[in-house]
Amino acid sequence: MPDNSVTVVGNITRDPELRFTASGTAMASFGVAVNRRWMDRASSEWKEETSFFNVTCWREMAENAGNSLNKGDRVIINGRLQQRSWETPEGDKRSVVEIQADEIGPSIRWATATVEKNERRGAGDFGGGGAGGGSTPPRPAENSPDSAPFDPAEEPF
């Protein structure tokens, strides 16, 4: 059975944007730039190429990303590719492939990092979402800048 798994290492291109669905589920999105550098043997010159990806994460990971990641940070992201399609108000069809993050961590190749554990919010899936205590994060006011329109049908679970 084929597996849809991807791991990228790159720099965050914009601060994570933390939003909440109508049901209160946290979602964060940000961009990451992945650089590739290689020696062109024919010309004996270094070549460089940059790819840009949108990254989305959910629930506790989204809140952690919003609280701890910043533009310029070098990160390691493991997740899966997901294609999303929609139609513009003008009737044009659009599509994008994004990374749905399962894990995000700092790269310590050229930097140091300090890990601070959060209090576990629930039983079950290793740190969140399940029953067993914890609190629901506060939702932004309906007209606040953090309450950008969001379609709950986009929730992956």
How many domains does the chain divide into? Answer: 1
| Mean pLDDT, the chain, integer | 82
For the cut 70, the answer to whether the pLDDT of residue 134 exceeds it is no
In a domain, residue 90? The reply is yes
Structure-block tokens of residue 138: 């506060």
Which structural domain range is residue 78 located in?
6-120
Contact yes or no for 19/147 (Cβ under 8 A): yes
In a domain, residue 59? The reply is yes
In a domain, residue 137? The reply is no
Residues 115-128 have a mean pLDDT of 65
In a domain, residue 139? The reply is no
In a domain, residue 129? The reply is no
Q: What is the pLDDT of residue 92?
A: 95
In a domain, residue 36? The reply is yes
Contact yes or no for 80/99 (Cβ under 8 A): yes
Entry pTM: 0.69
pLDDT, tens digit (0-9, with 9 covering 90-100), for 30-48:
999 999 999 999 999 999 9
For the cut 50, the answer to whether the pLDDT of residue 72 exceeds it is yes
Residue with more model confidence, 94 or 119: 94
Q: What is the pLDDT of residue 122?
A: 61
Residues 138-146 have a mean pLDDT of 42
Q: What is the pLDDT of residue 151?
A: 52
Q: What is the pLDDT of residue 120?
A: 74
Percent of the chain, pLDDT > 70? 75
- CATH value at residue 104: 2.40.50.140
Q: How confident is the model at residue 155 (pLDDT cuts 50, 70, 90)?
A: low
* Radius of gyration, alpha carbons of the chain: 18
In a domain, residue 108? The reply is yes
Residue 7: CB partners within 8 Å, gap ≥ 6?
76, 77, 78
In a domain, residue 103? The reply is yes
Q: How confident is the model at residue 123 (pLDDT cuts 50, 70, 90)?
A: low
